[in-house]
Amino acid sequence: QVQLQESGPGVVKPSQTLSLTCTVSGGSISSGGYYWSWIRQHPGKGLEWIGYIYYSGSTDYNPSLKSRVAISVDTSKNQFSLKVSSVTAADTAVYFCARGSMTYDFWGQGTLVTVSP
Amino acid sequence: DIQMTQSPSSLSASVGDRVTITCRASQSISSYLNWYQQKPEKAPKLLISAASNLQSGVPSRFSGTGSGTEFTLTISSLQPEDFATYYCQQSYSSPLTFGGGTTVEIK
């Protein structure tokens, strides 16, 4: 059974960079066949797709965030990561990592990131 | 971007009721439509993919239909554990987009 776990700071200051890591267990990112995604949910709101990465490093991002977002992969650690630069209060959300590019069958539990001075 | 519109945004129902949730896409997405269930403080759970493909382990009281621009999720007999928020999501094209959610509450 694949499991995903997000980790990273729970508070980030405005204008700084939000950095999160997703650790995958129960399966190897480098075995191929799956993409790995980040999705966020603003407090009390719906879901927003951020982007995804393949083990080869191929990515796709939501155009609404593309200028500020970078997703990377570290196959040696079986992890993939998210960076969002120049954050504002509007980036306060629960961030989920998930398996899949278009359909998400396994999810992390989510981590709340608050942008606050 | 493809806009996904769910209705209703919330509903109240009793255990045993038949519940139907509608999702409309702003353009045709064929059958590239997924349904998720989310309970408070939890990650979404994939219920149905490709409009009608029930995921392993999901009770058969859940079903999905539709193609093109209109889709429905039906719960044939609502159970206590089904009270949650349900989201549709188009998997037709990037950027992937979700509906606004339908919260199913206890009547």
Q: What is the dihedral of CA A46, B70, B14, B44, to 10 degrees?
A: -30
Interchain contact, B87 vs A46, CB within 8 Å: yes
pLDDT for residue B106: 87
pLDDT for residue A85: 98
pLDDT for residue A33: 86
pLDDT for residue A89: 97
pLDDT for residue A74: 96
Average pLDDT (B60-64) is: 98
Interchain contact, A46 vs B98, CB within 8 Å: yes
Average pLDDT (B11-37) is: 98
pLDDT at B107 > cutoff 90: no
Please report, as a single letter, which amino acid is at residue B105: E
pLDDT for residue A31: 86
Q: What is the CA radius of gyration of chain B?
A: 13
Q: Write out chain B residues lying below 8 Å of A108, CB-based.
A: 43
How many C-beta atoms surround the C-beta of residue B20 within 10 A?
14
Q: Is B69 on the interface with A (CB under 8 A)?
A: no
pLDDT for residue B60: 98
- For B12, the token pair is 């109240």
- For A34, the token pair is 């799956």
Bridge partners of A62, per DSSP, are none
Per residue in A16-65, pLDDT (tens digit) is 999 999 999 999 998 878 999 999 999 999 999 999 999 999 999 999 99
C-alpha span between A59 and B66 (Å, rounded): 30
